[in-house]
C-alpha cells in the first residue's frame, strides 16, 4: 500500500510542476523549419565575406559548438547599410496562464556586434501587424546568451513572434533554442509578483516598487522606439517622470539585479 501511495504522489507532483510545450525549434535540420517565414526587408547585398547569406536568415552551424544547428542573419553589406531581416514563427496559441518564451542569441564578432528586436503580432504575419515589441537586444553577446520573457498579457491568444535583425554594419547574428511553453497554473512567478508599477494609466510620475534591486529600466513605444532607458544601482523604489511622453500605450521593461526582465504594459494619458 505504501508503494502505491508513493507512485500516486510522484504522478501528482509531476503534473503539478509540469509544463506544456507550445513551440520548440532548435534548428537542427537544414533549411527553413516548417511553418516559419523569412523576409528580406532591406534589399541590401551581403559583402563578399558573407556571400552565403542568399536569404534573410539561413541555416548555419554553431560557431562555438560544432555540429549544432542554428539560424543566422547577416548585417554586413556592401555598401554599408542597416539590416531589416525578419524571421517569423508559426502561429502559437497560448494557454490561460503561465506562458513564457525563451531563446538563445549570439553575435559572432564582438567588434561588430549585432542588435535585434523581438516583436509580436496578434493577427497575421504581415510585417505591419507586428505592433508589439517584446524586447530590444542591443549588441548581443559573443557568447550564447539565453533570454526569457513572460507572455502573460497575451494569455489565451494566438500570436506570431518575429526576430528582426536591425544592426547597422554588424556581422553575423545567430539564434537557437526558441521555446514557447505554458507553465502549470499552480506555479507562481515570484519575480512578476514582486514588481509593482503604478498608477496605470499614468499622467506625470510613474512609481516602481520591487523587492529586488533594479539594474535597468526602459520604456518602449507601441512602434518600438525606446523613449526612456536608464541604468540603476541598488534601487528598489523608483519614480520616473513621463509627463513629456505623448499619450498612448507603452511597454516598460524592468531588469532586476538577477538579470530577469519584467515587462508590463502602461498607458500614458
Q: What are phi and psi of 70, to 5 degrees?
A: -140, 175
The percentage of residues in the chain with a pLDDT greater than 70, rounded to a whole number, is 89
Please check whether residues 32 and 90 belong to one and the same domain. yes
Please indicate, yes or no, if residue 14 is contained in any of the structural domains.
Answer: no
Q: What is the pLDDT of residue 225?
A: 82
Q: Is the per-residue pLDDT at 245 higher than 70?
A: yes
Q: Return the beta strands (E) in 31-144 as ranges.
A: 37-40, 58-61, 69-74, 85-88, 92-93, 99-107, 116-121, 132-137
Name the band, by pLDDT with cuts 50, 70 and 90, for residue 235.
Answer: confident
CATH number of the domain at 254, please. 2.60.40.1220
pLDDT mean over 54-62? 97
Please check whether residues 116 and 198 belong to one and the same domain. no
Please indicate, yes or no, if residue 10 is contained in any of the structural domains.
Answer: no
CATH number of the domain at 39, please. 2.60.120.200
Please check whether residues 127 and 58 belong to one and the same domain. yes
Q: Could you give the CA distance from residue 86 to residue 41 in angstroms, rounded to a whole number?
A: 7
Please check whether residues 86 and 170 belong to one and the same domain. yes
Please indicate, yes or no, if residue 231 is contained in any of the structural domains.
Answer: yes
- Of residues 85 and 234, more confidence is placed in 85
Please indicate, yes or no, if residue 68 is contained in any of the structural domains.
Answer: yes
pLDDT mean over 185-210? 77
Give the pairing of strands 132-137 and 69-74: unpaired
Cell of 234: 541598488
Q: Could you give the CA distance from residue 7 to residue 85 in angstroms, rounded to a whole number?
A: 51
Q: What is the pLDDT of residue 184?
A: 53
Q: What is the pLDDT of residue 16?
A: 40
Q: Is the per-residue pLDDT at 128 higher than 50?
A: yes
Q: What is the DSSP string of 2-34?
A: HHHHHHHHHHHHHHHT-EEEEEEE---SSSPPT
Q: What is the pLDDT of residue 79?
A: 97
Please indicate, yes or no, if residue 74 is contained in any of the structural domains.
Answer: yes
Q: Is the per-residue pLDDT at 170 higher than 90?
A: yes
Please check whether residues 199 and 84 belong to one and the same domain. no
pLDDT mean over 212-233? 86
| Domain membership of residue 235 as a residue range | 194-268
pLDDT mean over 126-154? 92
Please check whether residues 159 and 254 belong to one and the same domain. no
Q: CA torsion 124→128→131→136, rounded to 10°?
A: 110
Please check whether residues 27 and 121 belong to one and the same domain. yes
Please check whether residues 137 and 44 belong to one and the same domain. yes
Q: Is the per-residue pLDDT at 12 higher than 60?
A: no
Q: Is the per-residue pLDDT at 188 higher than 70?
A: no
Q: What are phi and psi of 2, to 5 degrees?
A: -65, -40
Domain boundary among 133, 160, 183: 183
Q: Could you give the CA distance from residue 175 to residue 163 in angstroms, rounded to a whole number?
A: 9
Domain boundary among 133, 155, 183: 183
Please indicate, yes or no, if residue 9 is contained in any of the structural domains.
Answer: no
Please indicate, yes or no, if residue 263 is contained in any of the structural domains.
Answer: yes
Please indicate, yes or no, if residue 95 is contained in any of the structural domains.
Answer: yes
Please check whether residues 206 and 259 belong to one and the same domain. yes
CB 111 within 8 A of CB 161: no
Domain boundary among 129, 152, 183: 183
Q: What is the pLDDT of residue 191?
A: 57
Give the highest mean pLDDT range of 12-26, 31-45, 200-214.
Answer: 31-45
pLDDT mean over 27-48? 96
For 201-212, how does the pLDDT look when each residue is reduced to its tens digit (9 = 90+)?
A: 999 999 999 888
Q: What is the pLDDT of residue 243?
A: 93
Please check whether residues 60 and 83 belong to one and the same domain. yes
Q: What is the pLDDT of residue 18?
A: 59
Name the band, by pLDDT with cuts 50, 70 and 90, for residue 228.
Answer: very high
pLDDT mean over 2-8? 34
Please check whether residues 156 and 42 belong to one and the same domain. yes
The DSSP code for 166 is -
Q: Is the per-residue pLDDT at 190 higher than 80?
A: no
Q: What is the pLDDT of residue 137?
A: 93
Domain total of the chain: 2
Q: What is the pLDDT of residue 172?
A: 98
Please check whether residues 145 and 200 belong to one and the same domain. no
Amino acid at each position: 500500500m505504501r508503494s502505491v501511495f508513493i507512485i500516486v504522489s510522484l504522478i501528482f507532483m509531476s503534473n503539478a510542476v509540469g509544463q506544456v510545450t507550445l513551440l520548440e525549434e532548435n534548428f537542427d535540420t537544414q533549411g527553413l523549419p516548417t511553418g516559419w517565414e523569412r523576409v528580406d526587408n532591406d534589399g541590401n547585398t551581403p559583402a563578399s565575406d558573407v556571400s552565403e547569406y542568399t536569404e534573410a536568415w539561413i541555416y548555419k552551424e554553431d560557431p562555438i559548438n560544432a555540429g549544432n544547428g542554428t539560424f543566422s542573419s547577416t548585417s554586413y553589406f556592401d555598401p554599408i547599410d542597416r539590416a531589416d531581416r525578419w524571421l517569423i514563427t508559426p502561429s502559437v496559441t497560448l494557454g490561460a496562464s503561465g506562458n513564457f518564451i525563451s531563446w538563445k542569441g549570439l553575435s559572432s564578432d564582438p567588434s561588430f556586434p549585432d542588435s535585434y528586436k523581438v516583436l509580436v503580432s496578434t493577427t497575421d504575419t504581415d510585417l505591419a501587424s507586428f505592433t508589439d515589441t517584446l524586447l530590444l537586444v542591443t549588441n548581443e553577446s559573443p557568447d550564447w546568451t539565453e533570454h526569457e520573457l513572460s507572455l502573460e498579457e497575451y494569455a489565451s491568444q494566438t500570436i506570431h513572434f518575429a526576430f528582426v535583425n536591425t544592426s547597422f554594419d554588424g556581422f553575423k547574428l545567430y539564434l537557437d533554442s526558441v521555446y514557447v511553453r505554458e507553465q502549470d497554473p499552480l506555479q507562481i512567478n515570484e519575480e512578476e509578483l514582486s514588481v509593482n508599477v503604478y498608477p496605470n494609466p499614468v499622467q506625470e510620475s510613474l512609481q516602481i516598487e520591487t523587492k529586488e534591486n533594479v539594474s535597468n529600466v526602459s520604456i518602449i513605444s507601441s512602434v518600438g522606439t525606446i523613449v526612456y532607458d536608464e541604468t540603476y544601482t541598488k534601487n528598489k523604489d523608483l519614480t520616473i517622470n513621463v509627463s513629456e511622453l505623448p499619450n498612448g500605450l507603452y511597454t516598460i521593461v524592468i531588469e532586476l539585479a538577477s538579470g530577469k526582465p519584467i515587462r508590463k504594459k502602461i498607458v500614458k494619458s
